[in-house]
Homo-oligomer: A and B are copies of this chain.
Amino acid sequence: MTKPPQAGSDDTTAERLRSIPEASVARLAVYLRMLGELVEQGAETVSSDELAAVTGVNPAKLRKDLSYIGSYGIRGVGYEVSALQHRLELALGLNHRQAVALVGIGNLGHALAGYGGFSGRGFPLAALFDIDPDLVGIHINGILVEHVDAIPAVCSEREVTIGMIATPGPAAQGVCDLLVTAGVRCILNFAPVVLQVPREVELRKVDLAVELQILAFHVARRNLNGGQPSSLNGHVVNGSGGLEA
């Protein structure tokens, strides 16, 4: 299977990609980052147990996740770090860069625009937008902030594939519609509203206020238990992927 007697790696990829569970995709991204660190540390191979330990995942689950992308592990040895890294990048669609547009240069938008990790990970920020005249025209990290009205023209011209919305809630739906009009088919929404999109658009949402409330719930639960860690405390749950400051 792994030794390519044929160059069939392509249809294999296509077939498998369809059937990867959503939960596994999220973890694959985490494995990929850890592999990057392992490469820097000069590791050549890594076992599922080792990689599972540093990513905080069950080893069997990790192996199953990797099996979805047709993994290239060597029994008795482990995985070749750089090969696995390359394989993961391919599976996650990082082989060709995705241009990203960010709308809403407020508090959070500014932080996102200044975040260096995007372009470093294959997601170059191709455009920034805001509606505030004081912001339009300035540069952040060398990128010009343009007016929201320019979204359709600019996005289709620069072949933006991913849009991030960091506007206040009320403005989000309008911005979303503009992005969809511009041909953007994947949107990451930080505004605290539920957006309506056509079926062909993929939408993900990140809501920090909700994240805090989930934590607050656990504080409350713990207090009800009398502060005593009952059998099931100490959970570690991850919502999604990391951002460096």
Contact = CB atoms under 8 A, between A and B. Distances in A.
Given A194-B55, A233-B200, A235-B202, A217 B93 contact: yes
Interface residues of A, number: 101
A107 B100 contact: no
Contact of A92 (B28, B55, B200, B220): B220
Nearest to A166: B245
A25 interface: yes
Identical subunits present: 2
Q: Could you tell me the dominant secondary structure of chain A's interface residues?
A: mixed
A193 interface: yes
A109 B114 CA distance: 12
A133 interface: no
A198 interface: yes
24 contacts: A17-B217, A22-B237, A29-B213, A32-B213, A56-B194, A93-B217, A104-B245, A107-B114, A107-B245, A109-B245, A117-B209, A162-B219, A169-B244, A186-B218, A189-B242, A190-B242, A190-B243, A204-B214, A205-B239, A206-B206, A206-B241, A206-B243, A207-B242, A210-B241
